[in-house]
């Protein structure tokens, strides 16, 4: 089994014009288009492959406030409410539920870090509960192990990566927007120094505003217009086991293994933070800016393969608007799962979760997590190309904060009062070093 994904029926015709064109149909682009359509704007959502086909359907599905960086916490809190509001307002199911997230540990330093975050969380009215040894043992009894402590965030939850982005895209169409799959954006046109049209493989759309929510492809796209957006992708692998271990918590994190119950009753398993760094020309270009990030994460990262070069999403090449682009040659990034990570994940899962011992492995998949030097997304209008709004580099956090990010981007585009302070996300910060600014997540 590979990563599952619901289908979306595309709109029939590409519009000649739109108030806003959203480039990229992952969770960020889908929610952006949805909130723009709700405001009565004529919006077109363009996706080179399938809605939600890349990292938006390959993640854990966690929607958390717990241990969020202070810059992202306000957006995470707003997003939880927006997940619920979407379900109430639309005839679509994202699988969102506030099932609570459980963290367990036997490491005193880790527990102390969680306690410090808990103190900060209380100062901004976020609920979190530190667990002593007895409480941790009760919450984590399915592991059959003793724990020194933990933390439980009862208002956090999960959504279904296979359903969410498609559900939002369908709701966007019902609100008057259009959705176009298999429609790669080749580039942009300008008039008087301002964006005037989006050029796709199927024709052009006149517009004065475009939102670049291209995920792992965003930096290469920016390069076509002399925009320096430092981005690097990490290949991360997850695996799935069959239903039948219902006594396990719905969402559990430990330093050794993390598990999430899926909608079908099975579980997604992963080792948090573990990934492969596939060398690419773009990675080398931005390597100095990513030194603070890699020095913080080096224990969980390992050298990868040449797959990143073959995929083409981190190319330094430039392409023409009248010829097929790398996005058309690689409609969906579907990288090879890391077999060593699969073995390690399964071994740890069986050691930590006795209930999984009789559960068959049903599949594994990988995805490219698009990261910025500080681990915080870039959201904001590009000064050198008025009308182009960047929304990328969500660093593995985009799924959970997708509703809040989409709402904020729609606020920026429409001139409405912002849902949260947009300043911590503005891409101008990438002109400075990330030393001392790397998100602690």
As beta bridge partners, residue 149 has: 105
Q: What pLDDT sits at residue 322?
A: 94
Residue 3: pLDDT band (50, 70, 90) is confident
Please state the rounded mean pLDDT for residues 214-230. Answer: 97
Residues 88-97 have pLDDT tens digits of 999 899 999 9
d(CA 127, CA 252): 17
Residue 39 confidence (pLDDT) above 90? yes
Residues 284-305 have pLDDT tens digits of 999 999 999 988 888 889 999 9
Residue 182: pLDDT band (50, 70, 90) is very high
Residues 142-165 have pLDDT tens digits of 898 999 999 999 999 999 999 999
Show the tokens assigned to 357. Answer: 């011992």
Residue 367: pLDDT band (50, 70, 90) is very high
d(CA 153, CA 341): 28
The per-residue pLDDT of the chain, averaged, comes to: 95
SS3 label, residue 63: strand
Separate counts of helices (H) and strands (E) for the chain: 12, 21
- For residues 389 and 210, the answer to whether their CB atoms sit within 8 Å is yes
Residue 437 confidence (pLDDT) above 90? no
Residues 6+ apart with CB under 8 A from 274: 236, 237, 300, 301, 302, 341, 344
d(CA 86, CA 251): 22
Residue 11 confidence (pLDDT) above 90? yes
Q: What pLDDT sits at residue 441?
A: 66
Please state the rounded mean pLDDT for residues 193-213. Answer: 98
Predicted structure pTM score: 0.96
Query: CA 31 from chain center: how many Å?
Result: 12
Give the least confident one: 179-183, 298-302, 331-335: 298-302
Please state the rounded mean pLDDT for residues 47-63. Answer: 97
Residue 1: pLDDT band (50, 70, 90) is low
């Amino acid at each position: 089994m590979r990563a599952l994904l619901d289908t979306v029926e595309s709109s029939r015709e590409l519009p000649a014009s739109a108030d806003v064109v959203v480039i990229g149909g992952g969770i960020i682009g889908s929610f952006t288009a949805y909130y723009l359509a709700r405001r009565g704007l004529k919006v077109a959502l363009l996706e080179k492959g399938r809605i939600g086909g890349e990292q938006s359907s390959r993640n854990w599905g966690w929607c958390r406030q717990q241990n969020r960086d202070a810059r992202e916490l306000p957006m995470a809190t707003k997003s939880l409410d927006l997940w619920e509001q979407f379900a109430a307002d639309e005839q679509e199911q994202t699988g969102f539920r506030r099932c609570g997230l459980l963290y367990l540990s036997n490491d005193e330093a880790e527990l102390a870090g969680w306690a410090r975050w808990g103190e900060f969380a209380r100062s901004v009215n976020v609920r979190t509960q530190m667990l002593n040894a007895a409480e941790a043992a009760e919450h984590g009894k399915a592991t059959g192990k003793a724990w020194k402590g933990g933390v439980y965030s009862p208002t956090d939850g999960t959504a279904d990566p296979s359903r969410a982005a498609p559900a939002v895209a369908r709701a966007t169409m019902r609100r008057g927007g259009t959705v176009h799959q298999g429609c790669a954006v080749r580039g942009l046109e300008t008039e008087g120094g301002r964006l005037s049209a989006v050029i796709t493989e199927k024709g052009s759309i006149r517009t004065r505003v475009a939102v670049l929510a291209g995920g792992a492809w965003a930096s290469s796209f920016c390069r076509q217009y002399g925009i320096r957006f430092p981005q690097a992708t990490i290949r991360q692998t997850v695996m799935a086991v069959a239903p039948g271990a219902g006594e396990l918590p719905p969402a559990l994190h430990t330093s050794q293994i993390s598990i999430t119950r899926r909608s079908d009753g099975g579980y997604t398993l992963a080792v948090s933070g573990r990934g492969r760094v596939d060398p690419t020309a773009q990675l080398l270009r931005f390597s100095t800016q990513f030194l603070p990030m890699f020095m913080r994460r080096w224990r969980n990262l390992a050298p990868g393969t040449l797959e990143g070069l073959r995929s083409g999403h981190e190319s330094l090449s430039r392409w023409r608007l009248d010829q097929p682009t790398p996005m058309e040659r690689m409609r969906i990034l579907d990288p090879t799962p890391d077999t060593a990570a699969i073995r390690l994940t399964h071994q740890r899962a069986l050691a930590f979760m006795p209930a999984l011992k009789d559960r068959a492995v049903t599949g594994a998949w990988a995805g490219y997590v698009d990261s910025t030097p500080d681990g915080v997304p870039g959201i904001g209008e590009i000064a050198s190309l008025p009308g182009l709004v960047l929304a990328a580099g969500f660093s593995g956090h985009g799924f959970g904060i997708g509703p809040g990010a989409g709402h904020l981007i729609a606020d920026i585009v429409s001139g409405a009062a912002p849902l949260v302070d947009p300043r911590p996300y503005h891409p101008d910060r990438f002109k400075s070093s990330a030393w001392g600014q790397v998100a602690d997540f």
